[in-house]
Amino acid sequence: MSSKKNKYLSPEQQKYQLIAQAREPQRPVLLNSIRAFVVGGLICVLGQFFQFIYTTYFNFTEVSASNPTVSSLVILAVLMTGLGLYDHLAQYAGGGTIVPVTGFANTMASSAIEHRSEGFVLGVGGNMFKIAGPVITYGVFSAFVVAIIRFIILELGGM
């Protein structure tokens, strides 16, 4: 715990937090990492498989096959979310199911399902991006910052 946070705590609270921390079961970080690697990797292998199918049997190039590949993974993730399977897989896989595009599909599908009871406009429409929203907001913002940096370097450096 940072000392900045400690400043607002009484000695009694600080003492208790040490007691509580000592008895808190640790997250199995190594195991979680291995599971995330394996499951995340398998999702990528699946994506590779889809890409292979689309380039081999459907006249897509390696670049143009990316759209149907992503769509296939998204449809699969949304189906699994709807059937109530994705959250169980995610408890096992952690980051392995959050990082790939399937994780993004799951955030939107799960929010849409959850808020269906509040109607299509205020419920589904208003909440669909509740979890995915920050990803888009900061994704776009980071891209903007990177683009400006790139522009400045190119203009000034003339590389």
Partner 1 sequence: MLKGHQSWVFNSRPAVLACGTVGGPFEAQGPLAEDFDILHDDMWLGQESFEKAERKMLEEACEKAVEKAGQKGADVNFHLSGDLMNQIISSSFAARTLGIPYLGLFGACSTAMESLALAAQLVDSGAARMALASTSSHNGSAEKQFRYPTEYGAQKPPTAQWTVTGAGAALLGAGEEGPRVTSATIGRVVDMGLSDPFNMGAAMAPAAVDTLKAHARDLEVDLFSYDLIATGDLGRVGHEIAKDLIEEKKLPFPKERFMDCGLLIYDKTQPVHAGASGCACSAVVTFGHLINRMKRGELKKILAVATGALLSPLSYQQKESIPCIAYAVSIEI
Enter the tokens of residue 12. Answer: 């009694």
User: Which residues 6+ apart lie within 8 Å of 96 measured at CB?
Assistant: 35, 36, 37, 38, 39, 40, 41, 43
Assess contact for 44 and 103: CB atoms under 8 A: no
Question: Counting contacts by CB under 8 A, is residue 32 touching partner 1?
Answer: yes
Site for partner 1 in 119-138 (CB under 8 A): 131
Q: From the list 4, 7, 8, 61, which residue makes contact with partner 1 (rule: CB under 8 A)?
A: 8
The answer to whether the CB of 53 falls within 8 A of the CB of 75 is no
Q: How far is the CB of 36 from partner 1 (least distance, A)?
A: 9
Q: Which residues bind partner 1 (CB under 8 A)?
A: 8-10, 12-14, 16-17, 19-20, 23-28, 32, 81-82, 84, 86-87, 89-91, 93-95, 97-98, 103, 106-107, 109-111, 113-115, 117, 131
